[in-house]
Amino acid sequence: MPQRSVVEAPNPLREGLRIKQSPEPCVMVIFGSTGDLTHRKLLPALYNLALEHPLPAGFSVVGFARRPYDDETFRQQALDSVNEFSRQKPVNPQVWESFASGLFYLQSNFHDPAGYEKLANLLNKLDQERGTSGNRIFYLSTPPSQYPEIIQNLGAAGLNRNRKGWTRIIVEKPFGHDLPSARELNRQIGKVFKEEQIYRIDHYLGKETVQNILVFRLANGIFEPIWNRRYVDHVQITVAENIGIEGRGAYYEESGAIRDMVQNHMLQLLTLVAMEPPIAFEANAVHDEKVKVLHALQPLVGRDVINNTIRAQYGSGWVSGHQVPGYLEENGVNPASTTETYVAMKLFIDNWRWAGVPFYLRTGKHLPKRVTEIAIQFKTAPLMLFKRSDAQGQVEPNTLTLRIQPDEGISLKFGAKVPGTDMQIRSVNMDFFYGSSFVRQQPEAYERLLLDCMLGDSTLFTRRDEVEAAWTFVQGILDEWQNEPRSSILTYESGTWGPQAADEFIWRDGYRWRRP
Ligand code: BG6
């Protein structure tokens, strides 16, 4: 029998979709460089890019923050970040040395114009000494309340454009707190930067498996013809987390699950599943189709919100063998808070492809496990030839599951005959696992996104109208929830799959939530 061998195949997500290019020499200025995101994600991602994709010669990072550090302390901090959070370990001393020689620190308040003058001088110096050619990326990784003053100061210092090279700005989430604030932020950035300079980040779009949704749909001939209301019965999108709010009480109180996960990550997943094929795999063509899905969302307003959404908070309980406190007992949380840590909702997309197909979304913290998946349940066969008296148990509908994380892969459930003289049917799975087909490690989402920004490719970022369309849908829900009394917030025990009402919510339609 031939031996099954694991071949290190090229990853089509890396190799196939984009002509391989190296970014031009550039500098990335990180505002808020002493914060958690820089420490856990940005510096490790840049180091991994240095290790794997040759970053351009002279690539430099300027940390801009308030703490009294110097270049040396910033480099030491960066080394700590990489040692702790890098995907690739241990640190390669040669790569590190060359990477660290391009790290610089500038201490300043975000509101102080003198700090931006110093920044302009430093950037000019780096252009000359490290050959960065006037190409700049500004990364806003501070609390969002500081975005407006940073943007304004960049403009006032003339750093929003440069005669010699290109200038881009990356804006971290949360992008606004509601529709008016998102519009206002767009307006403020738009006064200083042109839309093609603005990269609004949603790290879910940098995940390999999220990009694979489009590859799966559009690089294969057999799925697209059945990807519509004639064949699809309903869709379930689950983003479950076993972690709680992880000490981020103050942030989460202002956010809640709908702002933290639904407005951005989950609606992005939805658009990729539901969009029409774009005319090209190119930023504006992709954004155009995603925006159409968001515009086609049936608005949830008034009573529809009550009937089509469930929100709840975790109580105490046990998660992964640990006893955990309830949300109201977390640090920084108001004991009378009505902020939700779980949301389930049903929505419809009013267009020809999806009219009448329910999309069920749910996300929550302190659920039994971490899992993100999209399950497409297809309609049953038009005529069941195998009567229930012959078949043991029910013939389950076909379900295609795109597993985003962990155990990344795709599986298709179908009915098969159990070997034997009688006609028993059982559901079986056809499985694809990333881990076994592509032996290589997947890059972290931030690696892909930072590299794309350096290359000037904004396909995996969100456009102005896209963010506003997502907020428009969410705003209707927020408005209605605000009018609801405290008692409408349910509680679920930590370590369970959410409140009982969420099960009843989907049973009413004759379905049940998947147990991933
Ligand atoms: C962030 C949210 O955007 O996404 C967090 O603020 C959440 O609350 C995180 O935990 C989930 O991301 P991931 O990549 O771990 O699924």
The pLDDT tens digits for 316-360 are: 999 989 999 999 999 999 999 999 999 999 999 999 999 999 999
Give the separation between CA 270 and CA 347, rounded to whole angstroms.
Answer: 10
Contact 141, 37 (CB under 8 A): yes
Model confidence band, residue 387 (pLDDT cutoffs 50, 70, 90): low
Q: Identify whether 406 is preceded by a cis peptide bond (ω within 30 of 0).
A: yes
394-421: burial string, b at 16+ Cβ within 10 Å, e else: ebebbbbbbbbbeebbbbebbbeeeeee
Q: Identify whether 23 is preceded by a cis peptide bond (ω within 30 of 0).
A: no
Please give the share of the chain, as a percent, with pLDDT higher than 90. 80
Q: Which helix (H) or strand (E) holds 140?
A: strand 136-140
Q: How far, in Å, is the centroid of ligand 1 from the Cα of 221? A: 33
Contact 103, 61 (CB under 8 A): yes
Q: Give the active site residue among 234, 265, 287, 366.
A: 265
Task: Locate all alpha helices (DSSP H) within 327-432, ordered by sequence.
Answer: none
pLDDT of residue 426: 87
260 lines ligand 1 (CB under 6 A): yes
**Within 10 A of 108 (CB to CB), how many other CB atoms are there?**
18
Q: Which of 231-245, 330-344, 348-362, 476-490 comes out lowest in average pLDDT?
A: 476-490
- Tell me the pLDDT tens digit for each residue of 121-141: 999 999 999 999 999 999 999
Please report, for residues 126, 132, 320, the alpha-carbon distance to residue 129 in angstroms, rounded to integers and kept in the order given: 5, 8, 52
The pairing of beta strand 232-240 with beta strand 359-364: parallel
265 noted as active-site residue: yes
Residue with tokens 């975000």: 110
Q: Determine if residue 247 is left, alpha or beta; phi over 0 gives left, psi from -120 to 50 gives alpha, anything else beta.
A: left
303 assigned ligand-binding residue: no
Give the separation between CA 236 and CA 359, rounded to whole angstroms.
Answer: 6
80 assigned ligand-binding residue: no
- Tell me the pLDDT tens digit for each residue of 437-452: 887 778 899 999 999 9
Domains delineated in the chain: 21-172 (3.40.50.720), 206-507 (3.30.360.10)
Residue nearest to atom 8 of ligand 1 (CA): 260
Residue nearest to atom 14 of ligand 1 (CA): 204
Give the separation between CA 495 and CA 165, rounded to whole angstroms.
Answer: 52
pTM of the model: 0.92
* Mean pLDDT value of segment 225-240: 98
| CA count, 13 A, side-chain hemisphere, 20 | 9
Contact 364, 314 (CB under 8 A): yes
207 assigned ligand-binding residue: yes
CA 225, distance to chain mean position in Å, is 27
